[in-house]
Structure formats: C-alpha cells, structure tokens
C-alpha cells in the first residue's frame, strides 16, 4: 500500500469511527438529590432493567403480556407516570440516560403506587438493538428530544431516516410512533422524515396531529405556551 492509499484508508477509518460515535444526547449526569439517590438505590432492583440482561421477556418482567409502550428520553418522568396511571392495562418501558431523571421516576412510581413501568438507564439505540424483539411494541413515544438547534449539530438529531426504520421493525403492524417537539424547525424535519419513511402512514393525513389527550401537558410545555411557543405532535402508524 503506497502513502496515498494509506492516507485514504486512515481517513476512511476516522470517518467511520466518527460516524459510529455520533450521539443524539450529551451525558449531563448532574447531581442527584438525596431523594433521587435513595429511590435509585432502593427501587432499581424492583423496576430497573439492564441492557446486559439481553432480550426483554415481557411475561417475566411484568408478570403479564399487555400492550407495550416504549418511551425514549422521559426526562424527569412525570408525564410517563401520568400516562401509566391513566392506562393500567398497558405496560411501559422508559429509557433515559440521565440518572437523576431515573431516580425521580422511580420515586414518583413509589409515591403513586404504580407497577406498570420498567426502566433502562441507558442509550435507547443500544437497548432497542439488544433487548427489544422485532414486532413487539405497540407504540414508541419520543417527546421533546434534544433539538440540536445549531445547524452544524442537526446531524445529531435523533429523528433520522435510518433510525425511524430501526423503530419500524420493532413495532407491530398497526403500532405507531408518537413524536412531539416545541422547535418548529425540528418539527418540520420530523414531518419530512416521517412522510418519507417506508412502511408508515400519517394518522393526521398529511400534517401535524392535535395533541392526543393521552399525552399529558408538562410543566415545561405549559411554560412554553405562556411564552408563545408552539408544540407539534406527529402520529405515524406502521402499515407494513
């Protein structure tokens, strides 16, 4: 291999490493409160799941087989708790990389007395790949993901064509993706990606959906509404 070929090979290798290392989140663990740490320490063995355990067995984990909802990035978990309370006939898997949010969710679950949520403190992309069977999910919900609003960072946005197809194979036919964002530019990108995605149908026709009643309005969202910010929901059903 001559010098030019060696240089080209090195450049291709660096590009591939960079491509694989792109993440849609920045790991900002922050400081856990005493309550969050207690909840994590005491309740994780009851409701926490480990990616290293491999494929998810819903019957074993929940003690039943029920409609299964998979939420990516639940933040501090309040809306997920409210949804699980309102739909006790469904099971929910929440995935969040930030440990304080996991601790807060676990604490909230204990406080309201619900048992139909299980939690991964991990990267959702890896959890989907290693733990979730194909055609096993009834819904995937992604609410207010990091907008990466600087143009040079748009490639880090989670909702991209390749990722949407990874979600599609995990959904049952008839299952749906529910997205929400308060960034108009991201909403437009989401709509473009989803409208062009193979195997999906827009439940709202050709535009955005009204906010479904099942999605609680968060404090963050209410604050944005007071400031005049918009919120856009998208609902797309897997058709094949």
Contact 106, 76 (CB under 8 A): no
Structure tokens at 78: 């309040």
Half-sphere exposure of 71 (CA within 13 A, CB side): 26
CA dist., res. 170 & res. 23, Å (int):
20
The C-alpha R_g of the chain, in whole angstroms, comes to 19
124: which DSSP letter? Answer: H
- Identified catalytic residue from 3, 146, 182, 233: 146
119, β-bridge pairs: 48, 94
Give the CA diameter of the chain. Answer: 67
* Residue 57 is a catalytic residue: no
Is the distance from CB of 177 to CB of 200 less than 8 angstroms?
A: yes
Question: What does residue 234 show for φ and ψ, rounded to 5 degrees?
Answer: -130, 135
**Which candidate, 239, 45, 197, 49, places its Cα nearest to that of 132?**
49
Catalytically annotated residues: 146
């Amino acid at each position: 291999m001559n010098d030019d070929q060696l240089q080209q090979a090195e450049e291709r290798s660096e590009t591939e490493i960079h491509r694989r290392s792109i993440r849609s989140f920045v790991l900002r663990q922050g400081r856990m409160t005493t309550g969050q740490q207690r909840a994590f320490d005491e309740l994780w063995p009851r409701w926490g799941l480990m990616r290293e355990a491999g494929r998810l067995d819903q019957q074993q984990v929940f003690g039943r087989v029920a409609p299964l909802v998979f939420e990516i990035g639940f933040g501090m978990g309040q809306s997920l708790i409210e949804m699980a309370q309102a739909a006790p006939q469904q099971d929910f898997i929440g995935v969040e990389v930030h440990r304080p949010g996991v601790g807060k969710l676990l604490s909230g679950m204990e406080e309201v007395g619900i048992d139909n949520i299980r939690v991964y403190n991990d990267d959702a992309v890896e959890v989907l790949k290693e733990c979730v069977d194909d055609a096993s999910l009834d819904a995937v919900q992604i609410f207010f993901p990091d907008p990466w609003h600087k143009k040079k960072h748009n490639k880090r946005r989670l909702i991209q064509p390749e990722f949407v197809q990874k979600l599609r194979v995990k959904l049952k036919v008839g299952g749906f993706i529910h997205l929400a964002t308060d960034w108009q530019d991201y909403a437009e990108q989401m709509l473009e990606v989803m409208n062009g995605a193979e195997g999906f149908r827009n439940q709202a026709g050709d535009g955005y959906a009204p906010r479904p009643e099942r999605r609680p309005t968060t404090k963050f969202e209410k604050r944005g509404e007071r400031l005049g910010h918009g919120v856009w929901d998208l609902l797309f059903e897997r058709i094949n």
